[in-house]
Structure 1
Amino acid sequence: MNLFINDFCIITPMRNIHSVAFKLSLLASLLVLGVILFMARMLFNETEQTLIAEMEVRADFFARSCREAIFPKINSFQLHFSLNELLKEKAIVYAAVLDSNGKFLSHSIPSHIGEADTSTEGKKAVLSAKMLLQTYINTLDSREYFDLSVPVMLGAHRAGTVRLGFTRESIRQALSKQKRQITAIAAAAIFLAVGGTVLLVGWITKPLALLAKAAAEIGRGNLQARVKWDSKDEIGLLAGTFNDMAEKNARLFGLLNEEKEKFRTVFLETHEGAILAEAGGDIILINPSASRLLGFSDSPPKTLVSALGNIQCEAYAGRILTQTERVVKCEFVREKPRLLALSGTSDRLTVDDHLVGFLLVFHDVTQEKRKEELERGFLSLVSHKLRTPLAVTIGFIELMLGKPEELNDFQKKSLATILRKSENLKYLVNKLLAFSSVQDPEKVIMNRESCSVPDMVEEVLKSMSPYFLEKKAEIEWDPAACRLLPPVYAAAWSVKEALRNLMENAVKFNPGEPRKVTLRTEVRDGQLRIEVSDNGPGVPPEEEPNLFQKFHQIENDFTGQIEGLGLGLAFVKIVAESHSGAVGMTSKKDGGSTFFFTLPLKDNANLS
């Protein structure tokens, strides 16, 4: 018999701080609070700007008053009187009148009268032909001052300059009353807005308590619990959907119980670690190999979270339980107290398109992981240790070359050579760093987004144009056709670096003249294909299997005569495969080579 939960079971939604009503109220209140505080802040700033504009009017009026006291004869009494009247205005902390030569005719500090204004601000004020607002830090009190100056003009003749100063503190003090009023109004608005928000959200979310009660009943094992809600609004629709879901879950639970026994025998005999879990993460079966690998010697774990938590990988359980693909590759790594690496797959199990659980199969790859970590750590360590002294070396050489008058010709030539070689070494170190950053494919695609293909291609070609010019390379591509391509879902930086490597290789390993490079972008078999062709000597057939390996270059011996480390194509391969793409090449002796990689289009990409 179904247990119907009606509105008599409603609890007060706002009583629990973990309730949806409380969270929505808090979120809405914070939003309202932020808006009101932002508007109050804007009003404060606008009031300050208005007072500063008022200062400009005062300065202009003060200049006109001083003009009458300077011409036709300097009237010191009138100058001092006008200056003292100006100092009575709010926010002004000092004022001065200078003659055309920059000497003080009047000053708020009488001891300065008759002295020449030697300050940087005073000199700029005397030279300025129009009103000038300057800011400076006073060395006596370490405060920021605003200095406003206006020339005193007699027709086309400059008779002097007036200056007045104020600080941000004096402005705020002058506006303290207005700010208190604004603060009081903002506080009242916040109180009313938050109160109204709490009441409104509490009223809207009240029916959700019924759903919470029914869900709790189902969670306790009563799969017959249902929600009775007869309204025609969205809450009624949600209740009906919830009841449908409860019916389907009851049927799925019965199916799982029937299938559990069928798989148990085969499941326990496999040598791989295997875990069969329900859709919610509760473990149905775990074989002895999985218990041993996960460190459970006594009693097996009850949930997928606790199983992976024993090797400090509980966060991965959430990704498995929310996966949308049929099969997902998994890798669990525990760093301490000793390294443990497990690799396998998670199979999403469905019945009639309904999720019923997950099958996780994995094995121990700790030794392989140790080898990979040592290699990656070595590359990163060497690169970083070289980068700092290189930066210092290049910096000092550039400083020395910046003073050519202190160097003779031999020193200039030697330093230029050292700088060029250091830049080459810096280029190699950056290549090492870029390669070490893509050693973990999961990190490569961590920041995937929708990317414009023409934008990425144009950026790469623009950044490499000096290199093409230096190498006298001719680049051919069709920008109009490229702009018609759909976006790809990828980590843009890695795709651009992969294309840069292909373009660089097409020029670097091409001894012919002129060097011709052709770039093509097209959609083929549902994926974006980016290929780069050259008119070089081609690749010997025996070299083709090794081209995409690390540190491999087509030379008789690795002498370093060809710039680079042999990491470019290996980088391209890692980037393409981490995006579920592929790499490849074709070549003919003395007929050039074509290298390409593919990427999934945005529409076909996995967005999880």
Structure 2
Amino acid sequence: MNLLRMFRSIQIKLIFIMLLLILIAVQLIGVYFISTMKNSLIDSFTNNLDSQASLLTSYSAQVLTQEDKNEDPKSGVSEKLNGMVSSLNSLNGAEIQVLDAGGRVLSTSKTSEQTVVGRKNTSLLVTRALQGIRDNEEEIIDEDNVRKKVIAMPVSSNNKIVGAVYIVASMRDLYETVEGINRIFYTAILIALGLTAILGVLLAGTITAPIKALTRQAAAVAEGRFDQRVPVFGNDEIGHLSVAFNDMTDRLSEALRINEEETEKLASILSNMSDGVLATDELGRVIVMNRRARILLGKQEMEGRTLSEALGTGKEPIADTLKGQESSLMLRQEAGEDGEEPLFRVTLTPIRRRDKGVAGAIAVIQDVTEFEKLEQSRREFVANVSHELRTPLTTIKSYAEALDDGAMDERSLAERFVGVIRSETERMIRLVNDLLHLSRFDSGRVLLRRQQTVISDMLEEVVDRFSFQLRQKAITATVRVEPNVESVWLDRDGIDQVLDNLVSNAIKYTLDGGTISLTAARNDSGQLELCVQDTGIGIPKKDLARIFDRFYRVDKARSRNMGGTGLGLSIAQEIVRAHGGTVALDSEMGAGTSVTVLLPIVQEGSEPA
């Protein structure tokens, strides 16, 4: 495996390519050179033999045409030819035979084969030569596996074939020379390949070193490390690539930094949004859920679940959204520990991509519980105001019409009708004044005018103002001020209005002969604690949560008959809040009611509400 991986290296590939190119080039050159040289040597060898054969044929023609009648002609011819053949054989070591016109051997260069003299040479080349064909040559391999060159050339005189010359020359030396040149060539090839391999390693290293550096930098970038740089080794293509890669690394680092900042911003925005946000993929599975959504839905881990499961709704609106339609729906959750049923508005918006269509959906969850409560309060407020104004206006209209119809002529009846009209008018004036008072608190235009107030005197004066009503119902009122409370800085008129409202309600709902106590003390937190407690009929538990709502009455008929507008406790609460305090009410049916006002103690001055 390691060897296979090594051969996959670009450096090894470059070295092999260079070696292969050199080997192919040298082989082509060697084949051409050796082939040319071999052909040249063979041609030279053949030409030399042809020259010798031509010389011998000329000499043999002269010898064979001589006529000596006094002696044996064949004996003289053989002697002359043997001398010539022996001299030529000493020059090149070839086997030479001179034949007569019949093909019989007259002379041979080999002394060991003199027995062939007088015998006929049946070679095809000899036959062709005796027929006058001059171009007779061939290469043969003998029994000893030696390559030889054979030439047969006719001997003619006066256009008459008188004999032939037959030459057989060994080509051993020629081919040994060629083989020696081949060995030299192969040695040169091996040396050239070795040098090429060494140079290839060096040259390939100059190419692969920058590539390896680029590979290391690419791996570092993939791991998120952008501080490294690729070294630039030159101004060539790889150098330009290194510069471009470093520039790409810088841009990628900057892009990732900006992307991370945007991601952090988005995560921070999602985490701190007052609305819940859920994002899904194209299949409707939740992939993002912010903290507010977990709080609103009461579910911690919903990633991977479907949006319909997370919201607890049907699948139809989710499916429509994933098809590209925007929609919204209302969700009412189960009542919590406080008995309140949360109401959510869910807005579904598809996520669109240019190339994929709808890639998911965004669900924005808004808690509209308080908004619904405010809307309900507003509707109730308008209805209550309309009702409170309609009743006295109807009464005034009725009595005015009665007076217009003739009741004015009867003095006693007219005075009673006028008294009712005056009473209802005063009731409307009180209602309007209370509404104006609440409006100033709502708009923040109330300015507290603090003054140093003796608490005991303030409580005594409250009891004095209601002494007539207390005597009418035989109610006993007591005032108790702790020693640690003497005088404080507060808005005397505002607190008087608060106490008047609390004492008035206590008198209204306390039976004859009951008791009302007013106490003042400093609690453990250093706040002024004013408490109005009665032994009245009490307030039902179900009404305690709304007792400070505007126009809210426990017993609506009785409260209206007593002249109440239903705004007294609301105004009292707003005045206490303007002082930075709180109002708490505790009541039990048939046992009485206790209202506690906590006010921070300040030294002096005044500040706007």
TM-score normalized with structure 1 length: 0.32
Instruction: Look at both structures and tell me which one has the larger radius of gyration over its CA atoms.
Output: 2
TM-score normalized with structure 2 length: 0.32
